[in-house]
C-alpha cells in the first residue's frame, strides 16, 4: 500500500480516537459528545469550525493558496440502538447503544485526513470537512442540506466512503452511476364498517379489502415498472382486528419500497395510491396512503467515480480496486448531498475473517487497519483535485 508517511505515523493516534468514539456511541441528532470531540480536534489542528449545521453536524473549513476551487469530504457520526456483544476494552459504555455500522471509523478517517492536510496545506483551494449526524434513517444529510450546507460551504465535488465487511482491508470498491437504492416506507389505512362476524352483509370488511390491496400492489413492480428498471415493494405489516367474532372497522398495511431512480420511486408512489384507493372503493371501503421517501438513490457522478478510482489505484494498485460492483439494495443518505453536488461514494474494505462481521450486527467492529488507508484517500483526493499550480 502506498500510504503517505505522515498518515502512516498517525495510525496509533487515530486508533485511540476511534476507540474513544466507539466506547461512547450516540444516536442520530444526539451526537453531543462526538460532535464536541470532532470540533475540539479540528480546532486544535488549526481548522475553522462551524457547529450546529443540521443540528449536531459539524463543518471544518481549511483554506490554502488563492484558488476558488473547493471540495467536500463527508463522514457520518451516529451509532445504532443495539446492545453490543463484544468484550474488548473499547466496547460501548452505553447500554443499548453501539457503533455497529463503523461510523466511528468513518469519523476518525476524516479527522486523520484533516490533521494531515492542516499540517501540510499541500493544496490550493478550500476543503470542507463535513461531519454529518443521524445517517441511520433519521435524515441527517437532509438536515444539513436544508440548513444551507452548500450555500454556506460551497463544494464543487464531494466524496464519502463506507466500510464494507467481507472486502479485504487494502481494497476499495467504486461504482459509477446508481450504487445504492433509494427507499421509502408506507402505511395504508383501510376503513370499512365494523359488524358482527356472522352478519357480514351489514358491514364492509376491511380485512378482505386489505388482502386484495396486498395482492394488487404486487402488480406495480410486475406490471407497471419497466422490466429493465429495478424496484422492490415489500408489505411487512398487516394489522387488523381484536376478536374472533368481530369484523373490525379498520385494517392497516405497511412496508417498504426500494428503487434506483427518483422516477421509479415516484411511479411506485403514484401507482400505490391509485391501486389502494381503487381496490378499496371497488369493494365499498376507503383507503388512505402515507408514502414517505426517506432516502434518495445514491448516484455517483461518472467523472467523479473515475477520479475516485484513480486515487484508489494510486494507493493500492488497480488490481485491488473493484470496479462497478453489484448494486446494493440498502440505502444511504449521502444520496441527498450527491443530489446537490457531483461526487462519489465508495466502499473501503473492512476485512475478511476478523473484519467480516456484517454491519448492524452486535458483534461488528470497525477494522482499525483500514484507518490510514481511508485517511490517505481523502488526503490524496484533495491534493489531486486542488493541485497546486
Per DSSP, the chain holds a count of helices (H) and strands (E) of 11, 16
Give the residue with the Cβ less far from Zn ion, 60 or 165.
165
Q: Minimum CB separation from Zn ion for residue 80, in Å?
A: 7
Cell 442540506 -> residue: 145
Give the residue with the Cβ less far from Zn ion, 101 or 321.
101
Cβ-based burial of 378 (10 A; exposed 0-12, middle 13-18, buried ≥19): buried
SS3 of 115-135: HHHHHHCCCCEEEEEEEECCC
Concatenating the DSSP letter of every residue in 207-228 gives: HHHHHHHHHHHHHIIIIIS-TT
Q: Minimum CB separation from Zn ion for residue 184, in Å?
A: 17
Give the residue with the Cβ less far from Zn ion, 267 or 298.
298
Give the residue with the Cβ less far from Zn ion, 45 or 345.
345
Give the residue with the Cβ less far from Zn ion, 104 or 383.
104
Cell 408506507 -> residue: 186
Q: Minimum CB separation from Zn ion for residue 110, in Å?
A: 14
Q: 385: Cβ–Cβ under 8 A, 6 or more apart, which residues?
A: 69, 71, 123, 125, 157, 307
Q: 286: Cβ–Cβ under 8 A, 6 or more apart, which residues?
A: 190, 191, 277, 280
Q: Within 13 A of 328's CA, how many CA atoms are on the CB side?
A: 20
Give the residue with the Cβ less far from Zn ion, 14 or 359.
359
Q: Minimum CB separation from Zn ion for residue 360, in Å?
A: 6
Which long-range contacts does 274-283 make (Cβ < 8 Å, 24+ apart)?
275/213, 275/216, 275/217, 275/219, 275/220, 276/188, 276/190, 276/213, 276/217, 279/209, 279/212, 279/213, 279/216, 280/190, 280/209, 280/213, 283/204, 283/208, 283/209, 283/212
Give the residue with the Cβ less far from Zn ion, 139 or 206.
139
Q: Minimum CB separation from Zn ion for residue 139, in Å?
A: 14
C-alpha cell at 294: 426517506
Q: Minimum CB separation from Zn ion for residue 144, in Å?
A: 16
Distance CA 14, CA 343 (A): 26
Give the residue with the Cβ less far from Zn ion, 101 or 312.
101
Q: Minimum CB separation from Zn ion for residue 104, in Å?
A: 10
Give the residue with the Cβ less far from Zn ion, 101 or 311.
101
Distance CA 222, CA 130 (A): 40
Q: In sequence order, which ranges of 191-288 are alpha helices (DSSP H)?
A: 206-219, 262-282
Interface ranges with Zn ion (CB under 5 A): 101
**Which residue's beta carbon is nearest to the bound Zn ion?**
101
Q: Minimum CB separation from Zn ion for residue 35, in Å?
A: 17
Q: Minimum CB separation from Zn ion for residue 103, in Å?
A: 6
Residues 253 and 237: beta-carbon distance below 8 Å: yes
C-alpha cell at 34: 462526538
Amino acid at each position: 500500500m502506498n500510504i503517505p508517511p505522515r498518515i502512516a505515523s498517525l495510525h496509533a493516534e487515530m486508533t485511540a480516537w476511534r476507540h474513544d468514539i466507539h466506547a461512547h456511541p450516540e444516536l442520530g441528532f444526539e451526537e453531543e459528545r462526538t460532535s464536541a470531540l470532532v470540533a475540539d480536534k479540528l480546532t486544535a489542528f488549526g481548522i475553522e469550525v462551524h457547529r450546529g449545521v443540521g443540528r449536531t453536524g459539524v463543518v471544518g473549513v481549511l483554506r490554502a493558496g488563492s484558488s476558488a476551487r473547493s471540495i467536500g469530504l463527508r463522514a457520518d457520526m451516529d451509532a445504532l440502538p443495539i446492545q453490543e456483544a463484544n468484550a474488548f476494552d473499547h466496547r460501548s459504555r452505553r447500554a443499548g447503544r453501539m457503533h455497529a455500522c463503523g461510523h466511528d471509523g468513518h469519523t476518525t478517517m476524516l479527522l486523520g485526513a484533516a490533521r494531515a492536510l492542516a499540517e501540510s496545506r499541500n493544496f490550493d483551494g478550500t476543503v470542507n470537512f463535513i461531519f454529518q449526524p443521524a445517517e441511520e434513517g433519521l435524515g441527517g444529510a437532509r438536515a444539513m442540506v436544508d440548513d444551507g450546507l452548500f450555500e454556506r460551504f460551497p463544494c464543487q465535488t464531494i466524496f464519502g466512503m463506507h466500510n464494507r465487511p467481507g472486502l479485504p482491508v487494502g481494497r476499495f470498491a467504486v461504482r459509477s452511476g446508481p450504487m445504492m437504492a433509494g427507499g421509502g416506507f408506507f402505511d395504508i389505512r383501510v376503513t370499512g364498517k365494523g359488524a358482527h362476524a356472522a352478519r357480514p352483509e351489514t358491514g364492509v370488511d376491511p380485512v378482505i379489502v386489505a388482502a386484495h390491496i396486498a395482492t394488487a400492489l404486487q402488480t406495480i413492480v410486475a406490471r407497471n415498472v419497466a422490466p429493465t428498471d429495478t424496484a422492490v415493494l415489500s408489505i411487512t405489516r398487516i394489522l387488523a382486528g381484536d376478536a374472533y367474532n368481530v369484523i373490525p372497522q379498520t385494517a392497516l398495511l405497511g412496508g417498504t419500497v426500494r428503487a434506483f431512480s427518483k422516477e421509479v420511486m415516484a411511479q411506485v408512489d403514484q401507482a400505490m395510491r391509485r391501486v389502494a384507493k381503487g381496490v378499496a372503493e371497488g369493494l365499498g371501503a376507503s383507503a388512505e396512503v402515507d408514502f414517505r421517501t426517506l432516502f434518495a438513490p445514491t448516484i455517483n457522478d461518472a467523472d467523479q467515480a473515475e477520479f475516485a478510482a484513480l486515487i484508489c489505484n494510486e494507493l493500492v494498485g488497480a488490481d485491488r480496486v473493484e470496479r462497478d460492483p453489484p448494486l446494493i439494495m440498502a440505502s444511504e443518505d449521502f444520496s441527498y448531498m450527491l443530489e446537490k453536488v457531483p461526487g462519489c461514494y465508495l466502499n473501503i474494505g473492512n476485512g475478511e475473517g476478523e473484519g467480516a462481521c456484517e454491519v448492524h450486527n452486535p458483534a461488528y467492529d470497525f477494522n482499525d487497519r483500514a484507518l490510514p488507508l481511508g485517511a490517505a484517500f481523502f488526503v490524496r483526493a484533495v491534493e489531486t483535485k486542488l493541485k497546486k499550480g
